[in-house]
C-alpha cells in the first residue's frame, strides 16, 4: 500500500508498506521526491525488492534514483543493496561504522564499483544534498544499532526514525496524546530489548525537540503525527528504562 505523507507540488514523501509476504517482518519504506531528485529510505531485502521497485517506478525513473539512505545495517534495511547498485545509479548513504561491511552484501565483481558509490556518515551526522534542499542525517547511535541514524526532511518536517518508535502492528497515524497512550503498550517490549539504555534515549529526545516537526515515521508500525502524539512519545521515550538499565549479573552467568 502507498500512502502520501506530504506533497506540495514540488516536494513529496511517500510511504510503502505491507509489501512483505510470508513470515517476514513487515516494514515501511519511504521515498522522498524533491523536483528531479529522489531518495529511498531503508529499502529492505529480497522480500521487498520486487514489489518495492514496481511501486516506486510509478513515481520516478528508477535508474535516476539519487540515494539509498540506510539508517543502519540490518537485513530488513539494506540487504537488497546489490540489486539497487546494479539497476540504479544511486549512492548509498550509511554510517561510517557499517561502510566496510557492505561489501559482504555485494558480489565480488561489483565491489570496486560499489566502493565509489558509498557515502559514509560521520558519527555526528551530516547534511545530504537533495537538489536545493537537504536531508539531515541525525545521530541515533545505540538506539538499536551502534551506528544508527534518523533522517529529517526539513521541507515536509518529517523525521524518519528507523526503529525508534517502531511497533509490530500497522494502522493509521497516531494523532493525539490519548491515542499514543493506548498505542505505547505495543511498543514497550521491543524498545526495552532493542534500545541500549535510557541515556541514549534522553540524548536523542533532547536533539529531536530542537526540530520543527509535523510527523515522526518509524520503519515499523504507524506514524506519530502532530504535537500531541509526538510530545507524548518523546516524554515516554525519555523516561524509558531499557537495555542495560534492565540487566544484572543474573543475565550473564553460566547455565
**CATH code: domain of residue 157:** 3.60.15.10
Tell me, what's the pLDDT at 18?
Answer: 64
In a domain, 254, yes or no: no
Tell me, what's the pLDDT at 113?
Answer: 62
Tell me, what's the pLDDT at 135?
Answer: 98
How many helices (H) and strands (E) in the chain? 8, 13
Q: Are strands 133-139 and 118-121 parallel, antiparallel or unpaired?
A: unpaired
In a domain, 122, yes or no: yes
Q: Are strands 29-34 and 11-16 parallel, antiparallel or unpaired?
A: antiparallel
Tell me, what's the pLDDT at 112?
Answer: 52
Residue 26 DSSP symbol: P
In a domain, 143, yes or no: yes
In a domain, 160, yes or no: yes
Q: Kindly give the confidence (pLDDT) of every residue in the chain, 255 residues in length, as a single tens digit, with 9 standing for 90 and above.
A: 788 999 999 999 999 976 555 555 667 899 999 999 999 999 987 778 888 999 999 999 999 999 999 998 887 778 888 888 888 999 999 999 888 777 767 766 566 566 678 899 999 999 999 999 999 999 999 999 999 999 999 999 999 999 999 998 878 999 999 999 999 999 999 999 999 999 999 999 999 999 999 999 999 999 999 999 999 999 999 999 999 999 999 999 998
In a domain, 100, yes or no: yes
Cell numbers found for residue 116: 565509489
Cα–Cα distance, 11 to 76 (Å, whole number):
26
What does the angle CA 221 – CA 222 – CA 224 come to, to the nearest 5 degrees?
130
In a domain, 255, yes or no: no
Residue 55 DSSP symbol: H
Question: How many CA atoms, within 13 angstroms, populate the side-chain half-sphere of residue 254?
Answer: 0
**How close are the terminal C-alpha atoms of the chain, in Å?**
46
In a domain, 148, yes or no: yes
**192 Cβ contact list (under 8 Å, min separation 6):** 240, 241, 242, 243, 246
Tell me, what's the pLDDT at 174?
Answer: 96
Tell me, what's the pLDDT at 109?
Answer: 57
Cα–Cα distance, 123 to 60 (Å, whole number):
31
Tell me, what's the pLDDT at 168?
Answer: 85
Query: Which helix (H) or strand (E) is 14 found in, with range?
Result: strand 11-16
In a domain, 69, yes or no: yes
Q: Are strands 133-139 and 224-225 parallel, antiparallel or unpaired?
A: unpaired
Domain that holds residue 126: 2-248
Whether this model's pTM surpasses 0.85: yes
* Number of domains making up the chain: 1
Amino acid at each position: 500500500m502507498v500512502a502520501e505523507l506530504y506533497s506540495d507540488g514540488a516536494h513529496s514523501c511517500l510511504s510503502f508498506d505491507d509489501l512483505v509476504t510470508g513470515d517476514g517482518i513487515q516494514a515501511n519504506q519511504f521515498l522522498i521526491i524533491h523536483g528531479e531528485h529522489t531518495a529511498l529510505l531503508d529499502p529492505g531485502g529480497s522480500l521487498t525488492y520486487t514489489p518495492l521497485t514496481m511501486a516506486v517506478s510509478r513515481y520516478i525513473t528508477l535508474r535516476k534514483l539519487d540515494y539509498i539512505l540506510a539508517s543502519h545495517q540490518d537485513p530488513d534495511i539494506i540487504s537488497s543493496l546489490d540489486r539497487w547498485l546494479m539497476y540504479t545509479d544511486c549512492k548509498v548513504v550509511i554510517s561510517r561504522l557499517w561502510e566496510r561491511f557492505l561489501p559482504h552484501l555485494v558480489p565480488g565483481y561489483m565491489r570496486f564499483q560499489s566502493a565509489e558509490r558509498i557515502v559514509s556518515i560521520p558519527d555526528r551526522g551530516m547534511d545530504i544534498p537533495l537538489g536545493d534542499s537537504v536531508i539531515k542525517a541525525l545521530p541515533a547511535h545505540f538506539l538499536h544499532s551502534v551506528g544508527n541514524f534518523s533522517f529529517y526532511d526539513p521541507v515536509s518536517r518529517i523525521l524518519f526514525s528507523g526503529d525508534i518508535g517502531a511497533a509490530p502492528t500497522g494502522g493509521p497515524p497516531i494523532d493525539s496524546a490519548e491515542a499514543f497512550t493506548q498505542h505505547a503498550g505495543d511498543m514497550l517490549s521491543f524498545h526495552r530489548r532493542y534500545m541500549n539504555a535510557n541515556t541514549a534515549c534522553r540524548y536523542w529526545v533532547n536533539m529531536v525537540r530542537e526540530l520543527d516537526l509535523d510527523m515522526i515515521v518509524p520503519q515499523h508500525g504507524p506514524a506519530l503525527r502532530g504535537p500531541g502524539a509526538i510530545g507524548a512519545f518523546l516524554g515516554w521515550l525519555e523516561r524509558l528504562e531499557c537495555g542495560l538499565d534492565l540487566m544484572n549479573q543474573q543475565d550473564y552467568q553460566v547455565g
